Amino acid sequence: MTNKYIYFIGNWKMFGKYKTLKSLKKVITFVKKFKKNKFRLIYCPPSTLIHPMSEIFKKTSIDIGGQNCHHSQNYGAYTGQINSKMLKDAGAKYVILGHSENRLLGEKDELINLKVKSCIKSGLKVIFCIGETFKQKKKKNTKKVINNQIKKGLKKIKNKRNILIAYEPVWAIGSGITPKETELFDIIKYIKNRLKNVKVLYGGSVNPKNIQNLRRIENVDGFLIGGASQDSKNLIDIIKKTYN
């Protein structure tokens, strides 16, 4: 996969303060010097850091994304919520939608579908997360589950050129466990057959220790990285080892 254009997306989750942004200088220096292969680096910080981070990365190739948003494009009485237009105005170019951590809080496929439509209309690129639980995996329902998530979450969205699919098995997130290489290859192949010409990323406990195994999966187009992306050295190591 070393000849491909690879995505590295850092999901900071609920992490980071203004002083945390100082650590990004290492990443900026690395990206400017690392000319070995083409790649796209995207940070998805909490919404409090989207604008200051976008200012830091203004003269670099690094992009910013949000972690979620409200489904309405209109302003309204939605205390604590932000919509796709507000994300874009703050400096975001991408947004993560359908993450299992939000699905566990009650987000349904129908609501996620409304969010996807809103974000595309606002000009944001969508990182659409899908994946099965361990219980669903044990029952051998993985493909059935992700097919259902795709069918409902991307309903009536004909043009998918601004959508990246992130396959994140729920049981792998934060557990340190990743799927077997053959298993992962098969699932990604299934997703690509289901959705033509769409980039498919893998997410779930991606770190500097397992990236050399994950990079061997030929049909993966990049990685959605959680906790490891919060440390600049770890993120740099992941990118380096992808190409070694």
Q: Residue 27 class from Cβ within 10 Å (0-12 exposed, 13-18 middle, 19+ buried)? A: buried
Q: Using CA of residue 193, residue 170, residue 215, residue 62, what is the dihedral sign?
A: positive
Global pTM reads: 0.96
Q: Number of C-alpha atoms within 13 angstroms, CB side, residue 67? A: 21
Residues 222-231: tens digit of each pLDDT: 999 999 999 9
Q: What residues of the chain score a pLDDT lower than 50? A: none
208-224 pLDDT tens trace: 999 999 999 999 999 99
Question: Which amino acid, residue 227?
Answer: G
The whole-angstrom separation of Cα 73 and Cα 11 is: 23
The architecture that CATH gives domain 6-243 is: Alpha-Beta Barrel (3.20)
Residue 35's pLDDT is 75
| pLDDT reported for residue 176 | 87
Task: Catalytic residue, from 101, 107, 132, 168: name it.
Answer: 168
* Cα–Cα dist 118/139, whole Å: 34
Catalytic residue list contains 71 = no
| Catalytic residue chosen out of the listed positions 99, 101, 107, 132 | 99
